[in-house]
Structure 1
Amino acid sequence: MEKHYKGYLIDLDGTIYLGKEVIPAGKRFVEKLQELDLPFLFVTNNTTKTPKAVIDRLAQEFDIHVPVETVYTASLATIDYMKEQGRGNRVYVIGESGLVDLILSQGFVWDEKTPDYVVVGLDTEITYEKFATAALCIRNGAVFIGTNPDKSIPTERGLLPGAGSFISLVATATQTEPIMIGKPNSIIMNEALHVMGLEKEQVIMVGDNYETDIQSGLQNGIDSLLVLSGFTPKEAVPDLPAKPTYILDSLDEWTF
């Protein structure tokens, strides 16, 4: 029998939609949460899109209508983390506009020489010079932050290098381990709970990816629901080293 949760942390790609196709059960799941007035937060490692861009896509492509406050990206978690550290506001960022513009809009100042933080995320226009600048800044004492550990990202062309691959390169070049923000790390989960105003035992993490979504729950003492609609296939379930709290073929099977 399912426990009744006061809040839901939900993945997007593979859970609510798959690439460019909506997952009907995922759409119904979100609409049921809205109908019951249950708080939810989409927690995503994607740093290339702003929360506004995410909700626009949900509305335009999938007919899912949610307020911008329901989207919590690794970019927002990175900003919240840096603000809490109180170290300073100078940054150098490897990333796309969804990360760079968001950071700069929150009072951080661009610095390519002696920043307080170097933030590395996914950048499809990466250059050697960007890596070189990041490495020199870290060697000059900047705190090295990785937005998310995803080593590859699924695309129509196949699996392409993700933020984790770029972060690994910078870590190798500087012999410095990054502070990692995104799922399954504790920073994004703790920040998401803070945004929701709820405790770990009051929420559940819902997702399709055992390595990120479900590990976010397992590693942080949060119940988890693995839905077999995306990344982790049904045949992999018997060999999972630690089981999620719940495993469902479809979100239609969930009772609130």
Structure 2
Amino acid sequence: MAIKNIISDMDGVIYRGKNLIPGAKECVENLLKNNIKFLFLTNNSEQTAIDLIRKLELLGIKGLTEKNFITSAMATAMFLSEQKPGGTAYVIGGGGLINELYKVGFSISENNPDYVVVGKTKSYNFEMIKKAVELINKGAKFIATNPDVIDPIENGIEPACGALLAPIERATGKSPFVVGKPNAIMMTLAKRKLGVHSEETLMIGDRMDTDIIGGLEAGMKTCLVLSGVSTKEMLNKFPYRPNYIFNNISEVNLEKINKELEILEK
């Protein structure tokens, strides 16, 4: 079955920190020009879809709308609103996460909240850890936007949400429920938003432990790009492999991939 749609990660695939990855602009322009359905699915919970649109515009990529994005903050808010409409949460995270929770009717509170929600933030500190541990021990449910321990930036890597979760997990002895990739919930929300089937969709990402396993478990073809976190040397550490491996997104050619699939089906 031909691949007609693309779901792609952003960090490490489209850009690395503040730098655009070679070929990303041309790739997005080609998707828009040929009316290919695509969605940027990112574990980034700090920024809203509008923030991401503006970031890409500054990097030279134009023509995108909010319908082209789903973040782990959006997915977390959707999930929690279905679990407990009008609930309350103590949040360790950026403005994007807080904004999405407000949009679904949640209140932000330190007074016996229903949930403690953790996402990536640069304002992380000891008092936040202390409060989160206290509230979880009192009965608040522990939620994380995503499990990523590191994120790629222009000069290397930096700690991500998974690193912020670690001390809270150790102190409480409890693990969070993680909504973002590779959880099937986020993959399902992405496919529902795009209105596509798994068999006709390619998942592109730079992480074996989130993008590739998530796409694989969702029944999609998977493509690993080596412009972010994962390297070829890391592949042997995993019991699964992507369908395709490229240096960066500029090498992803749907026409060529579909010709190969057609030959294999024969």
Mapped to 1, the partners of 2:211 and 2:34 lie a distance apart of 24
Task: Provide Cα deviations, 1:95-147, integer angstroms capped at 9, x if missing partner.
Answer: 11121233123311122122111101112112222122222222222221111
Q: Which residue of 2 aligns with 1:205?
A: 203
State the Cα RMSD in Å.
2.1
Q: Which moved more, 1:141-150 or 1:233-242?
A: 233-242
1:133-174 Cα distance to aligned partner (Å, 9 max, x none)? 222222222221111111123345643321111112212222
Written as runs of structure 1 = structure 2, the 5 A alignment for 1:1-256 is: 3-86=1-84, 88-155=86-153, 158-237=156-235, 241-250=239-248, 251-256=250-255
Shift of 1:240: 5.1
Give distance in 1, aligned partners of 2:115 and 2:5: 32
Contact 1:88 1:116 in 2 (8 A): no
CA contact (8 A) 2:223 2:246 kept: yes
Is 225-234 or 25-34 further displaced after alignment?
A: 225-234
Q: CA 1:181–1:32 in structure 2 vs 1: closer, same or farther (change >3 Å)?
A: same
* Post-superposition CA distance 1:176-211 (Å, at most 9, x none): 221101222222112211212223223221122223
Partners of 2:115 and 2:140 within 8 A in 1? yes
Q: Which amino acid aligns with 1:252?
A: E
TM-fit CA distance, 1:9: 0.7
Residue identity in the other structure for 2:139: G
1: CA distance between counterparts of 2:246 and 2:153?
25
The 3 A distance-change label for structure 1 pair 66 and 176 is same
Counterpart contact for 2:16–2:154, Cα < 8 Å: no
How far apart are residue 237 of structure 1 and its match?
A: 4.8
Q: Secondary structure at the match of 1:100?
A: helix
How many residues align? The count is: 254
Would the aligned equivalents of 2:94 and 2:120 in 1 still touch at CA under 8 Å? yes
Contact 2:146 2:181 in 1 (8 A): yes
Alignment gaps of 5+ in structure 1: none
8 Å contact from structure 2 (residues 146, 162) kept in 1 = yes
Counterpart residue identity of residue 115, structure 2: Y
User: Secondary structure of the equivalent of 1:62?
Assistant: coil
